[in-house]
Amino acid sequence: MKLNKILRGFVFYLAGLAIGSAAIYFLWIRNRTDLLSWWPGGRVKDKILRSNWLHSEAGMCYLNCYQLNDSLLNNFVKNGNVRFGISKTRRKPFPVYIIDGMIDKNLYVRMHIESADSLASIFQIEDLPNTKNKVNCNCNPIAY
């Protein structure tokens, strides 16, 4: 008899949890574009995507070498993987984030991106070791 009461209470608890979770999803979470920014990598990507691109001489050299434009850069950042272990997150005055990702089907690169308040700039782009197609750029990366 007592076991039936416990099981019945547990079933009601699970039903309430399911209904409440569904209500929260449909009322607050569904169709939210800012949910990506809850995670640290998502916040970094969101900050870079909301920034305007400022291209230095070295940055323009890399863009021309890899045939990139601002929309391709935004797509790369959106789909890339932020590497916090090797990024310079405590660099002053602005941090440099390293993002690994794919530009083309067989072209995997690592971008070093400085992110200021409303500006982002490319320091360096390098091919990852598992890249089948290598791009040889004669650009001088900015030291940081």
Give yes or no for a contact between 54 and 121, defined as CB atoms under 8 angstroms apart. yes
Pairing of strands 96-104, 81-82: antiparallel
Q: What is the pLDDT of residue 39?
A: 81
Q: What is the pLDDT of residue 110?
A: 93
Q: What is the pLDDT of residue 85?
A: 93
Q: What is the pLDDT of residue 87?
A: 94
- DSSP-derived 3-state class of residue 25: helix
Q: What is the pLDDT of residue 33?
A: 61
Q: What is the pLDDT of residue 129?
A: 79
Long-range contact pairs involving 104-110 (C-beta distance under 8 Å, separation at least 24): 104/133, 106/131, 106/132, 106/133, 107/66, 107/131, 107/132, 107/133, 107/135, 109/66, 110/83
- Note the pTM of the prediction, 2 decimals: 0.72
Nearest to 108 by CA among 91, 89, 130: 130
The tens place of each residue's pLDDT in the chain, 144 residues long, gives 688 889 999 999 999 999 999 998 888 777 766 665 678 888 899 899 989 999 888 889 999 998 888 888 999 999 999 999 999 999 988 999 999 998 877 788 999 999 988 899 998 898 887 777 778 888 876 666
